[in-house]
Structure 1
Amino acid sequence: MSLRQTLRDNRTYVAIALLAIAAPASWMLQRWVLGAPPVNDFIGPPISDYVLYNSKVWSYDVNGLLSFTMTAPRMDRRAGDESLYINAPVFQITAKKPGVPDWYGNAPFGWVNKSGTEMRLDGTVYMHRPAYPLGPMATLCTSNVTGWPKENRMETADPATMTQGASVMNGVGMRASLNDNHLELLHDVHGFLYSSQNNATAKPVDCRTVAAAAGTGKAG
């Protein structure tokens, strides 16, 4: 039997063999001409095992007392460590002393660990405490805050503007213990203070009206 006759009788098998040879040869030629494809080093967001919409969470201290609450249009629980990634959180930090009002605030993004012992507020952060008989309204404008809700502590290394009544203070870096309403600016501190008597009667200032002028960014 001639080679031509053999190829004609087995043309299906020959075609398969040719395709098997041509496919890797074509791939090798493409790699040689175009080079290796770029490496995709993008790492996406944490994988969520569930998503909550228009939700609210509560955190309690070691004594079972309410420590803080947080509401948000969306919360993603990360698979693995069960932490929460939060969009546009609005939060309330419960005062520990009778008669002292709670602190309220908001931020663009937030994060809370599984046990609720640590939280982060990312981006611009605004907080305020209403006036009460022993003190005028207080506000805080800063960014990128780390907090420990069960201890009512928080801190940031970013610039901050604090107001209490008509008094305004600016600085870089802030530590706060909200149990005793103690807020401390750490570096480059400047501003103006009113006496307690004058501060009680003066028109209170909101940090959002002075933050941009002080160079500490905007909060709201």
Structure 2
Amino acid sequence: MGELKVIGCSKSLFCTRVEWALKLKGCEYEYIEEDLRNKSPILLKYNPVHKKVPVLVHDDKPIPESLVILEYIDETWKLNPLLPEDPYERATARFWAKFSDDKCLYGAFGACTAEGEAKERAIETTLESFGYLEKQIQGKKFFGGEEISYLDLVAGWIPHLLNVIEEVGGMKLVDAERLPSLHEWAHNFIQIPLIKECIPPREDLVVLYSAHLSYIRSLEPKKQ
């Protein structure tokens, strides 16, 4: 297996998805907690380009970016495969993973920080994106079928972080009436012991994102 380290932040769901993957594969690893306000020499050494977490370090070789890390883990350790064998199905899973991050996650962030008519438009656009994701889980236990897959780990922020973003942003995006399949998946996914044990405390995330929203507001031009 070789020496494994994860450089991460316990409040980042991008880092959590990496831990989920390693635990599913049965990999032992050292977790190095990073203070993103005072970035450590080890982070700057292993990710000098973006200076971000997570970083997986395998036998002193660094792999940054969570989606890239998940694929590396799946290709290196074959137990409990995350991506399907069929090339088309693999490509499809990658497409929806990027969609989940780019359109759903960052869409929710945008809706959280927006105000007035801009907020209404952002909510509408993000709801449309979640609707596409809803269709991918309809009639299935997990996005990949009967077992936890790559896309489940990528979308795993929804059961825990989305509720925080909704609270801080004063809005509601995913509920049982509007998106029943996605809502049911989220409820069941977060109850899995391996998944549940890695998630950061909700109250910490509320404090973090409330502070982030306050910072964004402080940068806005003062209304006369």
Which TM-score bucket, shorter chain as reference?
under 0.3
Which has the larger helix fraction? Answer: 2
* TM, length-normalised to structure 2: 0.21
Answer 1 or 2: which has greater strand percent.
1
Structure of greater relative contact order (alpha carbons < 8 Å, 6+ residues apart): 2
**Which of 1 and 2 has greater Rg?**
1
Given the two structures, how large is their TM-score scaled by the length of structure 1? 0.21
